Structure 1
Amino acid sequence: MSSLFTKIVHGEIPAYKIAEDSQFLAFLDVRPNAKGHTLCIPKKEVDYIFDMDEQMYMELMRFSRKVALALEKTVECKRVGVAVVGLEVPHVHVHLIPLNDMGDMNFANHHEMSEEQLKELAESIHVNL
């Protein structure tokens, strides 16, 4: 059965896309820890990050860096935090979270945003790629 993220890759579930290439996709988390919380995923469904081959792992990190730099240009923050947890969805995903304090990394906290706010933010980040 396809993961939630594979369904996003195939267009079966909508997402606020920021960046995409032939191997990877970046989109806004709809339950963000902070404004701009973004997920970077490989299009190929792999459950655990360390099961990825080294080349794909390095390319995912390169893709994530590019997105993080665009986030820094778009969302006011001290820096962009990075987390890979891998328990909630069985598909590798890198969390990029704009940080102003350590509480922004707490996955129990969620920043409420409307669909319109998410759409506008995704477009703004994309422009800064």
Structure 2
Amino acid sequence: MTIFSRIVAGEIPAHKIAETDDYLAFLDAFPTTTGHTLVIPKKEVDYLFDLEDELYMGLMAFAKRIAPAIEKAILCKRIGVAVIGLEVPHAHVHLIPLNSMADMNFSNKMKPSQEELSETAALIRQHLSL
């Protein structure tokens, strides 16, 4: 069971942004920028391109609904999208507030406090219109 499946199961806490029966969006605990959000299918599948078409399209549509809320909550030029797929064997999409290309540098991880993550998640949720 991956760390993301354990988050879905409620075994590990996360700062949730939005959730449906099939998908979950939550803040990255070690973001590249404030507001860095992970969007996952709840079904554990290792590789994004191994997702069934319907689940893949639903994941992207869910991410598309989350991105505007992040963009309204966090001062940035746009929301970047990254799929790396090496760090956790559970398909996921990174939504990253961008002001420069350096914001996509996964070698530069922040270490925000739980309070900071909680405040950021609440701010993003205020702008959701699911």
Q: TM-score, normalised on structure 2?
A: 0.97
* Structure 1 CA distance for aligned equivalents of residues 69 and 88 of structure 2: 25
Give CA deviations for 1:50-93 in whole Å, capped at 9, x if unaligned: 10111111110000011111100100000000001100100001
Matches within 5 A, 1:66-105: 66-105=65-104
Specify the alignment match of 2:115 in structure 1: 116
What percent of counterpart residues are identical? 59
Tell me the distance in 2 between the aligned counterparts of 1:110 and 1:34: 8
Spell out structure 1 runs of 4+ moving beyond 6 A: none
What is the 5 A alignment of 1:1-129?
2-129=1-128
Q: Tell me how far 1:127 sits from its aligned partner.
A: 1.4
Equivalent-residue separation in structure 2 for 1:87 and 1:16 (angstroms) = 22
Amino acid at match of 2:68: L
- Structure 1 unaligned runs (5+)? none
Q: Read off the aligned partner of 1:95 and give its amino acid letter.
A: H
Deviation of the 1:112 alpha carbon: 3.0
What residue ranges of structure 2 are gaps of 5+ in the alignment? Answer: none
Q: How many residues align?
A: 128
Coordinate RMSD, CA, aligned:
0.6
SS at match of 2:96: strand
For 1:112 and 1:87, how far apart are their aligned partners in 2? 20
Aligned partner of 1:12: which letter?
Answer: E
